[in-house]
Amino acid sequence: MTPAQMAAIHKQCFTTPRPWRAEEFAETLSKKFYFCLSEDQGFLIGRVIAGEAELTTIAVAPAARRQGIARRLMARFDDELRARNAEIAHLEVAMENHFAHALYLATGWSDSCIRENYYRHPDGKRSDAILMVRDFGPDIF
């Protein structure tokens, strides 16, 4: 998937945080630790540095939702993190994004804490984010 295609999908999905431009996708993906997983009408960007991972963004075109694309991307993300020896992963999700929060919970993520006033909306208002975590480290028991 090209940066322009990613930007087009991202624009359909987000106002908060603001959608990324194609140049921002290209710049991010040119960095050493970032990677993109994509399917038709959806993509995910993540990174792994020194055993710590972050789900940077995930987007599925509204017309293609409820077809399992996000769930498949999350499963592939898990595989990628294991291949890159990630021990722990983090993501932020807008408090009001109930569908994404439910997806993350269903795919093994746990709520960690609240980041107050994390997102800025186009009208200047701010909203909270839920910080979520997933442990990929070795079992200790």
The pLDDT value given to residue 139: 57
Active site residue 104: yes
Domains delineated in the chain? 3-135 (3.40.630.30)
CA distances (Å), origin 122, targets 19, 48, 110, 113, 127: 11, 30, 29, 24, 11
The pLDDT value given to residue 49: 95
The pLDDT value given to residue 28: 96
> 30-39: buried (b, 16+ CB within 10 Å) or exposed (e) per residue?
eeeebebbbb
Tens digit of pLDDT at every position of the chain (141 positions) = 999 999 999 999 987 778 999 999 999 999 999 999 999 999 999 999 999 999 999 999 999 999 999 999 999 999 999 999 999 999 999 999 999 999 999 999 999 999 999 988 888 899 999 999 999 876 544
The pLDDT value given to residue 5: 97
Is residue 72 a contact partner of residue 39, using CB atoms and an 8 Å limit? yes
> 98-135: buried (b, 16+ CB within 10 Å) or exposed (e) per residue?
eebbebbeeeebeeeeeeeebbeeeeeeebebbebebe
The pLDDT value given to residue 141: 44
Catalytic pick among 27, 39, 54, 104? 104
Pull the structure tokens for residue 82: 């294991």
Catalytic pick among 54, 92, 118, 119? 92
The pLDDT value given to residue 140: 46
Active site residue 39: no
CA distances (Å), origin 25, targets 76, 90, 93: 20, 20, 19
